[in-house]
Amino acid sequence: MFSFKAYFWNNDVYINGQYKYAANEILTAYLNTNYLSKAKDYVYESKKL
């Protein structure tokens, strides 16, 4: 299982107390990945079984 701690201060997000990101930087990076399209393909293939 993957786990992490996120701390928020003003407009910054700290992941595991080490990595500092701008608040929207993480969301933007996530939305720019192709994980969602891969998940849709996986669901589609699973339904065919």
pLDDT in tens, the chain (49 residues): 678 788 888 878 888 877 787 767 766 776 677 666 677 777 777 887 7
- Whether 44 is in a domain gets the answer yes
Q: Note down the domain range covering 24.
A: 6-48
Q: Report residue 9 as tokens.
A: 């201060």
- Whether 33 is in a domain gets the answer yes
Report how many domains make up the chain: 1
Environment class of residue 14 by beta-carbon count within 10 Å: exposed (0-12), middle (13-18) or buried (19+)?
middle
- Whether 36 is in a domain gets the answer yes
- Whether 41 is in a domain gets the answer yes
- Whether 1 is in a domain gets the answer no
Q: What is the pTM of this model?
A: 0.42
- Whether 14 is in a domain gets the answer yes
